[in-house]
Structure 1
Amino acid sequence: MNSLYARVATEHASRYLQQLCKHWNHRFDVTFDADHGTVHLPGADLGLLAQPDALVMTLSSPDDTDLIRLGGVVDAHLSRFAFRETLAIVWSGTEAVHSAS
């Protein structure tokens, strides 16, 4: 399993986690609470962790192409929800560091 990891500095991590999960809940298998979320996207799993100063995201997939494409999808949605602030979303390759299930 290949993974991408991003730690996005924000004081609104829980809000964005819940917005992302609620947004995708009608299309995909999603579990979440205020601090943890998992979204089973087609081809990848997105793990979310809300910390006081950051949203931690782990995107895991057996296919590198899906990782890159879905990383862009996650970026676009998160940026749309966080339109009041400029987020630095930088993905890096890593082993899975978060499992929200």
Structure 2
Amino acid sequence: MKFGSIDWFYKLNEMVSFPAKFAFYYNKRDNVIQVSKVNSKAMVENIRYRDIEPSPLHFHPKETALIKVIEISSDKEYHDEIVQLQEIWRTKFAG
């Protein structure tokens, strides 16, 4: 399924209810942006690092860095954030 397609948006909305908090990571080894949904009731600025740190138990190799944690209010905002990060990091999105 192509990133940004109608099917992609449909699947995204099946998996995520907005607003939601997300942690964005840069995976240097694969040169991709990865995203995890943050399941914390804390405000973004109060989320503990241990709740979002890159972990091999999830999908992060050692060459992964946390870019940002933000709350996103819509599927379009989520898409636009990924597009912006792809441009900044000159990379692609990993699903």
The question of a shared fold, defined as TM-score above 0.5 by the shorter chain, is answered with no
Structure with greater proportional strand content: 1
- TM-score, L = length of structure 2: 0.34
Larger radius of gyration: 2
- TM-score, L = length of structure 1: 0.33
